[in-house]
Amino acid sequence: MPERKSVMAKSKFSALADLRRQQEAPVAPDSLLSDLEPAGRGRPMGKRSNPDYQPTTVLLRKATKRAATRKLEDRETGQDLSDLIEQLLTSWIEG
């Protein structure tokens, strides 16, 4: 009588090994060139990542900070509190 082959004759990880072998196949030269193209611009670097800026703690009265923040938001110029403080300190130093 012939022996029956099990449905699970292959290892349960053989499919993963097959995928791995497919990934290791040589890559076409056209796809290599597309990897060398420069990427898009993306997001601009933030102040926290910019080496020209240094985190600094400033103590302000709550009412002063709240009023200044509201005024900056109402103007809708995109300027934040750190931009305002930078501008005021720079003009004070130069002045």
CB 66 within 8 A of CB 82: no
- Rounded to two decimals, the pTM is 0.52
What is the C-alpha to C-alpha distance for residues 16 and 22, in angstroms, rounded to an integer? 10
Burial 54-83 (b: 16+ CB within 10 A, else e): eeeeeeeeeeeeeeeeeebeeeeeeeeeee
Q: What are phi and psi of 11, to 5 degrees?
A: -65, 150
Per-residue pLDDT reduced to its tens digit, 47-94:
889 999 999 999 999 999 999 999 999 999 999 999 999 999 999 999
What is the C-alpha to C-alpha distance for residues 50 and 47, in angstroms, rounded to an integer? 5
Give the pLDDT band (50/70/90) at residue 15: confident
Per-residue pLDDT reduced to its tens digit, 21-48:
887 766 666 655 555 566 667 888 888 8
Three-state DSSP class for 4?
A: coil
